[in-house]
Amino acid sequence: MTYQEAKEKLAPAGQEHLLAYYDELTQEQKEGLLEQIDALDLSLLDLIRDGVKEVKKGKLEPLGAVTLDEIATRKESYERLGIEAIKQCKVGAVLLAGGQGTRLGLDKPKGMLNVGIQKELYLFEQLIHNLMEVVKKADAWVPLFVMTSEKNHSDTTTFFKEHDYFGYNKDYVFFFVQEMAPAASYQGKIYLEEKGRLATSPNGNGGWFSSLAKAGLLDTIHRLGVEWLNVFAVDNVLQKIADLVFVGATLDAGCVCGAKVVAKADPNEKVGVLCLEDKKPSIVEYYEMTDEIINSRDAQGKLLYNYGVILNYLFEVKTLQKIMDENMPTHVVEKKIPYLNEDGEVVKPTEPNGYKFETLVLDMIHMMDNCLSFEVVREKEFAPIKNRTGVDSLESARELMKSNGIEL
């Protein structure tokens, strides 16, 4: 794209300020900036033009889960099915590690966080340990796809190399980079983060499959015979990955996807609940539900909307390919965005100062015809590290790890 073309693209959208420092840039910086502007999706700004609107949910109905008791009675047969699938390399794992962990405030990838106390134990390392349990049981490697972002790719890949993939077989580890989205002020002006760079951030975890495809990894998936992908977050240190019982149960149910869920601690817990929306599976946030829905119970007194998701999903690859080009909803999120002020100085705000645009993996569930809701024990499988202190923090995760016998 030329300077003139960039101007013509930006002017109608009121974004010409992005070229304010163009003349001061080196040739290389100029090219980088024009490339960014060329790739820029200005339609995102429509989402904030008249204020951010909440998307209306359809008709909600409860969706039961295969409960812990039911799972316990069929554990062996589910596990057998799971082992068979893993042995045939039908299941791959996708580690979502493109986020910025802004709440934790780290300046490196979240997976590099040392969760150990007496010894070093990195988040990435513990996740590999968790996956190794399945590898050992099935006596087969599980392909592991790791999504990074432009911001943390090189740190992440270097870290894995330096630690010799934490004992994993590196031939079964594949990295890919997710896309970025611009960040804008409340007035809808895209920020610059440097004179020659737009402020961008990873575009959410919803684009993982299309990014994986863009990186050419579908060939690898088909070559290896992978038919299912288990997607999981980097920050749940107790995460079971490619869980044999979960895989077996989803296959047995004949569903196109499965979601691990935990029973809510109380009706008002702030989790996304797996239910039906207009007869299709859907994850609905607590703030999208009325009090009446939140508190509704069955004849036995059990909450009807009882199961919260923990960001651990199993998707059928065939179905993912079918929906890959469908539009996903874009969420507009308020964030603290470092930017260049009018005097050309970098400002690091302490309060949110604008919007980022993200798609979310949980919205994929509503694109599926069915979904197995699979209950797990919260204390054994859910220890997310989101915050510096308090709820869902390193401290709380360490306590849970210790109670699960993990040496720290």
Q: Which is nearer to ligand UTP, 147 or 273 (CB)?
A: 147
Could you say whether residue 97 binds ligand UTP (CB under 6 A)? yes
Residue 302 contacts by C-beta under 8 Å, 6 or more apart in sequence? none
Task: Determine contact, residues 36/20, Cβ cutoff 8 Å.
Answer: no
The binder of ligand UTP chosen from 5, 8, 16, 102 (CB under 6 A): 102
Residue 101 touches ligand UTP, criterion: CB under 6 A: yes
Q: What is the DSSP string of 199-264?
A: -EEE--GGGHHHHHHHTTHHHHHHHHT--EEEEEETTBTT---S-HHHHHHHHHHT-SEEEEEEE-
In angstroms, give the least distance from the CB of 132 to ligand UTP.
19
Range 20-79, binding ligand UTP (CB under 6 A)? none
Nearer to ligand UTP, 124 or 141 (CB): 124
Q: How many of the other CB atoms lie within 10 Å of CB of 380?
A: 13
CB of 229 to ligand UTP, least distance (A): 14
Residue owning tokens 């069915």: 370
User: How far apart (Å, rounded) are the C-alpha atoms in residues 132 and 371?
Assistant: 26
94 lines the binding site for ligand UTP (CB under 6 A):
no
- Cα gap 331→44, rounded to integer Å: 10
- Indicate the residue among 83 and 94 with the shorter CB distance to ligand UTP: 94
Of 82, 92, 98, 143, the residue at the interface with ligand UTP (CB under 6 A) is 98
DSSP 42-86: GGGGHHHHT-PPPPPP--EE----B-HHHHHHHHHHHHHHHHHHH
Taking CB atoms, the residue at the shortest distance from ligand UTP is 99
Q: Which is nearer to ligand UTP, 235 or 316 (CB)?
A: 235
Structural element, H or E, at residue 292: helix 291-295
> How many C-beta atoms lie closer than 10 Å to residue 26's C-beta?
9
CB of 110 to ligand UTP, least distance (A): 6
Query: Does 233 help bind ligand UTP (rule: CB under 6 A)?
Result: yes
Nearest distance from C-beta of residue 340 to ligand UTP, angstroms = 21
Among the listed ranges 58-66, 93-101, 267-275, 290-298, the one in contact with ligand UTP (CB under 6 A) is 93-101
Q: Are 310 and 236 in contact (CB under 8 A)?
A: yes
Q: How many CA atoms lie within 13 A of 266 on its CB side?
A: 2
At 154, list the tokens.
Answer: 């090189």
Q: Which of 30-38, 136-144, 196-204, 270-278 is the region at the interface with ligand UTP (rule: CB under 6 A)?
A: 196-204
100 binds ligand UTP (CB under 6 A): yes
Cα 285 from Cα 230, distance rounded (Å): 22
CB 316, CB 372: distance < 8 Å = no
Q: Which stretch binds ligand UTP (CB under 6 A): 58-66, 168-176, 230-238, 398-406?
A: 230-238
The CB-of-28 to ligand UTP minimum distance in angstroms stands at 27
| Helices within 139-206 (DSSP H only) | 153-162
Instruction: Indicate the residue among 92 and 98 with the shorter CB distance to ligand UTP.
Output: 98
Between CA 338 and CA 193 the distance in angstroms is 6
Shortest separation between residue 287's beta carbon and ligand UTP, angstroms: 16
Q: Among residues 36, 130, 156, 178, which is the contact residue for ligand UTP, using CB under 6 A?
A: 178
Q: CB under 6 A: which stretch of 25-33, 197-205, 221-229, 270-278 binds ligand UTP?
A: 197-205
Q: Please give the residues from 130 up to 169 whose contact with ligand UTP meets the rule CB under 6 A.
A: 147
Distance CA(63)–CA(300), nearest Å, equals: 16
- How many residues contact ligand UTP, by CB under 6 A? 19
Measured from the CB atom, the residue of 105 and 405 that comes closer to ligand UTP is: 105
Close Cβ partners of 164 (under 8 Å, ≥ 6 residues apart): 170
| Minimum distance of ligand UTP from residue 219's CB (angstroms) | 22
Q: Report, in Å, the least distance between residue 152 CB and ligand UTP.
A: 9
**Closer CB to ligand UTP, 156 or 306, in the complex:** 156
Question: Which among 41-49, 162-170, 198-206, 312-320 is the span making contact with ligand UTP, rule CB under 6 A?
Answer: 198-206
User: Which residues form the interface with ligand UTP (CB under 6 A)?
Assistant: 96-103, 110, 147, 178, 202-205, 233-235, 386
